[in-house]
Amino acid sequence: MKNVPRWGSALTLVMLAACGPATSPPPPPPPPLPPATYGSASGAASVTTSVAAPAPAPAAPPAGSGVPLDAPVSTEEAAQPPPPKLSRGTATPADKALAEGDLALAQGDFVAAEKAYQKAKTLAPKDPAPVVGLVRARLSAEDAPVDYGAAPSHPGLLRATKDLEAALQKEPSYAPAHLELGRALLVLGRAEPALAALRKAKDLAPNDAEAHSALGVGLVATGKLDDAVRELERAAELEPGVAERQTNLGTALLALGRREQAVRAYERAARIAPNDARVQNDLGTALLTLNDTDRAIRCLETAVLRDPRRATYRSNLGYAIAQKGDLERAKVIYREALALDPKLVSAWVNLGNALAKQRKLAEAREAYEKAEALDPEDPRVKAVLLELSAIEKANAPAASPDKR
């Protein structure tokens, strides 16, 4: 089956890639900034872009700290499960049309899905389910953005919110409509109404793990980490056998600095989905925060083996190997990552760090400047450049005194 993005799939948080500044012994990286993604469930890797927190840009880190950068890029080959079915199994003409739409959406045929959901809407004009289906089909066909606040005037999202709000006027207790409304409002940057809609979805469906999880992801995206952990814990309780419930929880815990608990959550995910490359990457990166470098390397090597085209997994593996002092091997792996994704900022910074530790300052500067060109406003990239400039100045030869 063709792998295509489908609006309405489960929401998934992603671990950040690790990197650290140019010098000093390599301590574990601190908790990542809180990203999140619309992604997939049931053991599949995440497949969409991140929802960044709306907080101001962080200050430059102190010298010698480890700094995580850059959410992983999409896994092109990862299978993605479709959104939950909207058909209810009643065998009415409208419900049969809903089932047709659900099947077409699952197969990535968005035109057929929209046609079927429109038929269901014509047959049952007061039912909100066809409206939710139309929103999913249209936003999937448009490949609508998913970053928090990324599209405050996106026509498709604006239309979706109006359609969903109108449907909820007719049936205010339909939880899936509140859920889709919350997702759309997040991307439009309307945090408070988005969270209100997601809370309503959770209240209407208190035993729906995805309702709790979606709210948790929204709370992470808006920086409300303690509340997010509570929702994600509930989602994991309701569906303990779904790896994404555990990884979402682990990522939120790590963002709070609760590293041991985060590792335990990732370990549960790894037991559920031992062959999932993303889970192995997340567990390995989390283990680095506990200085369990040997085990982290084993997990990250597994991630690379399972998904050899994911550049961030290689960059993370190189970072872990650098922690063991093998800078030559780390540089090889960083360059492999950059061959896969030349725009991966964390790999350029990691490569620069390794070169700086070897006192190859000119080459380090070249790598850092590549990162700066890709993301000139990132204060963490600025920090490593400032640190390198200080090292260069300290190592510059003293000027000869004037001869008189």
What ranges do the domains of the chain cover?
11-81+144-390
pLDDT value at position 81? 59
Tokens linked to 177: 């409509």
Count the Cβ atoms, other than its own, within 10 Å of residue 43. 19
Q: Which candidate, 37, 35, 38, 29, places its Cα nearest to that of 70?
A: 35
Contacts of 373 (CB under 8 A, 6+ apart): none
Average pLDDT over residues 278-287: 96
Phi-psi region of 360 (alpha: psi -120 to 50; beta: other; left: phi over 0): beta
**Residue 183 structure tokens:** 């997702």
Q: Are 338 and 370 in contact (CB under 8 A)?
A: no
**Measured distance CA(114)–CA(184) in Å, rounded:** 18
Q: In the prediction, which pLDDT does 38 show?
A: 26
Q: What is the pTM of this model?
A: 0.77
Which pLDDT score, from 0 to 100, does residue 34 have?
30
In terms of Cα–Cα distance, which of 162, 138, 194, 174 is closest to 11? 194
Above 50 in pLDDT, residue 105? yes
Q: What is the pLDDT of residues 56-95, one digit of tens each?
A: 333 333 333 333 333 333 333 344 557 889 999 999 999 9
Sorting pLDDT into bands at 50, 70 and 90, what band is 231?
very high
Confidence of residue 380 (pLDDT cuts 50, 70, 90): confident
Which CATH code for domain 11-81+144-390? 1.25.40.10
Concatenating the DSSP letter of every residue in 300-344 gives HHHHHHH-TT-HHHHHHHHHHHHHTT-HHHHHHHHHHHHHH-TT-
CA distance 100 to 98: 5
The model's confidence at residue 43, banded by pLDDT at 50, 70 and 90, is: very low
Q: Average per-residue pLDDT in the chain? A: 83
Token pair recorded at residue 83: 């959104």
User: What amino acid occupies position 59?
Assistant: A
Diameter over CA atoms, the chain: 103
**pLDDT computed for residue 15 by the predictor:** 59
Residue at 184: amino acid letter: A
Cα gap 232→215, rounded to integer Å: 8
Which carries the bigger pLDDT value, residue 135 or residue 3?
135
Amino acid at 154: H
At 402 the pLDDT is 57
Q: Over range 23-40, report the average pLDDT.
A: 32
Model pLDDT, residue 395: 83
Encoded tokens for 16: 């950040």
Which residues lie across from 67 on neighbouring strands?
19
Specify which residues 18 forms β-bridges with. Answer: 68
8 Å CB contact between 188 and 151: yes
Half-sphere exposure of 345 (CA within 13 A, CB side): 22
For a pLDDT cut of 90, what percent of the chain falls above it?
Answer: 71
> Looking up tokens 């497949």, which residue turns up?
47
The alpha carbon of residue 222 and the mean position of all alpha carbons in its chain are separated, in whole angstroms, by: 14
Q: Which of 349, 387, 362, 395 shows the shortest CA–CA distance to 20? A: 349
pLDDT of residue 45 exceeding 60, the answer is no
Question: What pLDDT was estimated at residue 71?
Answer: 36
pLDDT bracket for residue 241 (50, 70, 90):
very high
Neighbours of 151 (CB within 10 A): 17
Residue 260 is predicted with a pLDDT of 97
Q: How far apart are the first and last CA of the chain?
A: 82
Is pLDDT above 60 for 264? Answer: yes
Segment 193-204 shows an average pLDDT of 97
Residue 16 pLDDT > 90, yes or no? no
Question: What confidence tens digit (pLDDT) does each residue in 137-177 have?
Answer: 999 999 898 778 889 999 999 999 999 999 999 999 999 99
Q: Which tens digit of pLDDT belongs to each residue from 341-370?
A: 999 999 999 999 999 999 999 999 999 999
Rg over alpha carbons for the chain, rounded to the nearest Å, is: 23
Check: CB of residue 9 under 8 Å from CB of residue 176: no
Q: Report pLDDT for 53.
A: 30
Distance from C-alpha of 347 to C-alpha of 312, rounded to nearest angstrom: 8
Check whether 2 has a pLDDT greater than 70: no
CA atoms lying within 13 Å on the CB side of residue 393: 6
Rounded to 5 degrees, what angle do the CA atoms 3, 86, 214 make? 70
Dig out the tokens for 130 from the structure: 């066809």
